[in-house]
Amino acid sequence: MKRVISLLLVTALVLCSFVGCKSDTASSADVEAVMNSEIDNNLVIWTTHSLDRVRKNRQPESSKNIELYGAKGEYQSFQIVANSKGGKVELTDLVFTDFKGENGVISAKDVVTVYREHYIAVNESSPQIGDKVLVEDTGMIPDALIPAVDKTTGKKLEGNRFNAFPHTVTAEECQPYWIDVEIPRTAQAGEYTATYALQTNKGIQKGTVKLTVWNIEIAKEASQGVHFRTTQIKTEQRAIIAAQHRMFSPGYDAELERKLNEKYGLNLTSVSFWSGANEATLTMKAAPKLEKVKEAAANRMEGLPVYAYTADEISGVTKLYEPLKEWARVLHQANVNQLVVMAPDEDLFDDGSGTGRSAVDIWVVLPRQFKDCEEVIRKAQAKGDQVWSYNCLVQDEFSPKWQLDYSLAGFRIQPGFINYSLKFDGFLYWLVDNWNTLDDPWTCIGESSLGALYNGDGNIFYPGEDVGLVDSYAPSIRAKAIRDGLQDYELLKAIEKLGHGEIATEYANSLGRDFENWESNGDIIIEKRIEMGNSIK
């Protein structure tokens, strides 16, 4: 009897020690103790890849193990899904051993981030045009990500409106957890294996993660420009969360820009000079004074290219062409590029200064505009102008869609494989935090515009305060897909620089040749990317 009581006490101590432990900061001895805990046979777990949306009523699958493949300097992600065989099970934590291989050890506490996936209600479908790109079913869709730990402090996040742990699951509904694994730039190429354990108040279930690190390193500084506009105050905390997803909203102060450049690869900056011109106003203010532009540019990080986003959606509005040229001449004297959301027009290929420089340096085009204007786009590129792509609403029947109730593949394909195939230089998105128009973004993120509902449009991040991150963001699964797309672009560029441009082009074209020909099946995207990376020796 004494022996039985002792065993029960030891088991209880092990479980109590790790109920609510800090997933990213548990010591190796602590993790080892968890791994030796009793198995909770009432808990069911399985894994799936990062482009798989797990609805609440999904039937459990069989594999607890997963294989990841990636380059140095990028994230690889997967999901661990839990439910019970019967009744309620309380999930208390998720821990990882270090990744171990013949070529070394990768510390789990340094590279693993755990999130609980939060479901958002989609009560009415976003618009759909035609039958090529299909909107998904209404209902509860996993999107918001609740971090288990504050990565800046190493402390567990608890006592908030939403928490990663504890959380109760049942046999009727799945609960997915999102796992990010950041591959260190210092890691040696090769295979590594880690074990994870999902804890309950009665024991654990565990599985393995096999990580293959390719002998490829993506560039530290971004290879394409991005502009993800924000409406909330640009705090350092929000800037860092966005930067971790390769999203920048250039125009920070010089000190923060240096931090973002050094750690996250910020590669350009902007100054705020808005002309007031868009498809609604069809008018343009007078160009700013040259001294004002020079002063603003001088307050940005030295050495970064500078642009001004001056006008929006003015394709074909010829009465604005002379004012655009006037703006260009002022901006160019201050060594500032002009970014305008419009299709290239040969009438703007000369700013009138005598230099032969275009009035617009960065043209930002919709998928449907590429289809209609490819010839002049190629002329702009040949001239040395940059062409970026962007996405907004549902404006055609063929391109990727960026609403919550469309496939995750679309969020990944456009800034990655399509942009690379079309030799585009960047990507723009109109807003990432348009919460002010919503009652509660954690409940429903429908966005009404032009008489229709566009679920999630303009909302890629969630308010951090609800998960214990003050003046910060909580990310989303869509943010992860966008990040992975931007990483895909960097991987293609890295393979190209290694002398395998034909391989990069072949795989980019097979997955995203253009806006009409792209892969929407997440399984195939993951499979082809692995195949591409494995082919580089």
Q: For the stretch 43-60, what's the b/e string if a residue is b when 16 or more beta carbons lie within 10 angstroms of its beta carbon?
A: bbbbbbbbbbbbeeebee
Q: Are 401 and 126 in contact (CB under 8 A)?
A: yes
pTM listed for this prediction = 0.94
Q: Which two tokens stand for residue 481?
A: 């897909």
> In this structure, are strands 336-341 and 306-312 parallel, antiparallel, or unpaired?
parallel
Per residue in 459-516, pLDDT (tens digit) is: 999 999 999 999 999 999 999 999 999 999 999 999 999 999 999 999 999 999 999 9
SS (H, E, C) 345-413: CHHHCCCCCCCCCCCCCEEEECHHHHHHHHHHHHHHHHHCCEEEEEECCCCCCCCCCCCCCCCHHHHHH
Q: Which two tokens stand for residue 501?
A: 């441009």
CA angle 385, 359, 281 (to 5 degrees): 115
User: Could you tell me if residue 404 is left (phi over 0), alpha (psi between -120 and 50 degrees) or otherwise beta?
Assistant: alpha
d(CA 106, CA 100): 6
What's the confidence (pLDDT) of residue 250? Answer: 84
CA angle 167, 168, 170 (to 5 degrees): 145
Q: Are 472 and 494 in contact (CB under 8 A)?
A: no
d(CA 37, CA 272): 57
Mean pLDDT, each 10-residue run in order, the chain (537 residues): 36 38 60 94 97 96 96 98 94 98 96 98 96 96 98 93 97 96 98 98 97 98 97 94 95 94 97 96 97 97 97 97 98 98 98 97 97 96 98 96 98 98 98 90 84 91 97 98 98 98 98 98 98 96
What's the confidence (pLDDT) of residue 19? Answer: 37
Q: Which fold has domain 16-216?
A: Immunoglobulin-like (2.60.40)
Q: Tell me if residue 96 falls in helix, strand or coil.
A: strand
Half-sphere exposure of 104 (CA within 13 A, CB side): 11
d(CA 68, CA 208): 11
Domain locations in the chain as residue ranges = 16-216, 225-534
- Which amino acid does the sequence have at 402? W
Q: For the stretch 135-160, what's the b/e string if a residue is b when 16 or more beta carbons lie within 10 angstroms of its beta carbon?
A: bbeeeebbbbbbbbbbeeeeebbeee
d(CA 537, CA 533): 9
What's the confidence (pLDDT) of residue 301? Answer: 96
The helix or strand, by DSSP H or E, that contains position 179, with its residue range, turns out to be strand 175-182
d(CA 526, CA 509): 15
Half-sphere exposure of 235 (CA within 13 A, CB side): 12
> In this structure, are strands 155-156 and 149-150 parallel, antiparallel, or unpaired?
antiparallel
What's the confidence (pLDDT) of residue 186? Answer: 97
Q: Are 271 and 250 in contact (CB under 8 A)?
A: no
d(CA 510, CA 531): 12
Q: Which two tokens stand for residue 518?
A: 């792209």
